[in-house]
Every structure is written in C-alpha cells, then in structure tokens.
Amino acid sequence: MSGERDDLENSFFVAEGERDPMRSAAQGGRPVLPKRFYKQAEAAPVEGGFAVLLDGKPVRTPAKRPLVAPHEGLGRAMAAEWAAREEFLNPLTMPLTKLANSAIDGVASQMAEVEADAVKYAGSDLICYRAGGPEGLVKAQAEAWDPYLRFAREKCGARLILSEGVVFHAQPPEALEGIAARVRAHVGEGPAAPFRLAALHTITTLTGSCVIALAVALREMDAEAAFKAAHVDEDYQMRVWGADEEALARRARRLADMLAAAQMSAFCAEA
C-alpha cells in the first residue's frame, strides 16, 4: 500500500484459509496486521455511489474492485471504520468494510446462488424446531420465536410447521415459495441489490434462520433482539452450566457482524 499509488488495496481482508501459511507460522500463528498508513479517511461521491478515500486515494477490495457504497450513509459508516483504527488495521473491527468487500467481490457475481442459499435455510429454519423440555426452555423458545412465526405468516404468507426435536421435516412448498418471493422482493435490482443480499445472507447464517433475517432486513424486528432470539438455547445452557469466556468472545464478534449487516441493510433499503 505505497503512498505513491493512485489507489489502495485492502488485501488484508482475505479469508483466514487464504492467508500465507509460511508467513503466519513465522509470526507464531498470529495474523499479520498492517499498520495504519493514512491520516484521513472519508467518503466521497463517485460514479455509482460513495467511495472510501484514504488521504484522497480510493480504496479497492481484495479483488481490486473499487470499494464503492450505493448509499452515502453506508459510505460514511465504512469510512468511519477506517478513521477509528489507531495503530493497526484489523478486519475483525471493520465489519462493514468486510461485508462490503463480500458484496462487491463475491455476491454481485452470483446473486441467484447466494439468494438460493439464504432461502434454503427456511426449509429447516431454527424457529421451527422446538424442545420437548425442560419447561423453561420450551417457554423461552416460544416467547422468542413465535413472533417470527407470525411475521412469516402475515408478511410472507408462509405457514410454517413446527416439530419437536431435531429430526428434519419438510415445510410446505407454498410456505417456502412465499418466503423466497419476499426475499426476491427485498433484494430487488440495481447497484444496492448485492449489498442487500449480502446483509440478508449474513444475518441468515449468523442466526440459522431466513425468517429472522427477513424480519430484521425489513425492519420488522430489532437486530440485537433478533440475535438474542437466535441464541435462546445457548443462553439457557449458560444459565444452567455457566458461561465460557471464549464462547462469549466469539458471540460478541458474531453480534458485531450481525449489527453491521443490519446497518448495511437499513442504509441500502433507501438506495
């Protein structure tokens, strides 16, 4: 990332499995993080949206595409992530930029596949598999998940079937088509479509529920409350057996990703 270049790559935003193993080993297994090399980060209007600029130079994705947001608020929020970094640039602390990279480099070129993968979750959606006991867990699941069943029924025309335990059961085809249609309508078309879909898919995989993701994307449900609803079982187990510090740290990172996806979805709903 030389200061002489006209643009700047953020190639340190690569997937963990794509990092150089020899370099990682030389660092004792620790990720190699670049130091902050710029004084100012800002968003500026360009063709197609708002670009992130570092000292006036545009940032590019790991695949060397322009890092351009389709909405000014999103562009400014991403620039704020870069501005907030003090000494090192860590992708874990820049979830909006990380998600935008995914939208631009990955989702945009395979919209149908990503959409189908999100909808597939509805076929075995988290909210449809209920515990038979103990009573406290049964009650907690009902309180957390029943509002999403109503959302699916009222907003998607999808009447989902519940079952006890974890054995797979097929959902009615018309229910799945109702959810798929709502996903397609939400994603829509245009420059913001890959960003909307990337956000929806992220929330789906983080919660295990396409229904929860849709409710958040359509701003029918609060993102943080939705994340908590998706972790009812985990919270119950922690109340019984206690919390694990490493598990809590991983959960905090997932929550940050969830909130970033919800923020991106909200911005791009207006784009």
- pLDDT, tens only, 106-154: 999 999 999 999 999 999 999 999 999 999 999 999 999 999 999 999 9
Instruction: Give the H/E segment covering residue 118.
Output: helix 111-120
3-state helix, strand, coil in the chain (%, to 5): 60, 10, 30
Residue 256 clears pLDDT 90, i.e. is over it: yes
- Domains in the chain, ordered, with CATH? 8-91 (3.30.2180.10), 108-269 (1.10.3580.10)
Looking at residues 99-112, what average pLDDT do you find? 98
Closest among 150, 124, 256 to 203, alpha carbons compared: 256
- For residues 200 and 214, the answer to whether their CB atoms sit within 8 Å is yes
- CA pair distance 58, 53, nearest whole angstrom: 4
Q: pLDDT at position 18, please?
A: 47
Q: pLDDT at position 175, please?
A: 98
What is the pLDDT confidence band of residue 26, given thresholds at 50, 70 and 90? very low
For 24, 31, 47, 220, the CA distances from 82, given in Å and listed in that order, are: 24, 18, 21, 30
DSSP 5: S
Closest among 154, 159, 151, 155 to 175, alpha carbons compared: 159
This prediction's pTM: 0.90
Residue 1 clears pLDDT 60, i.e. is over it: no
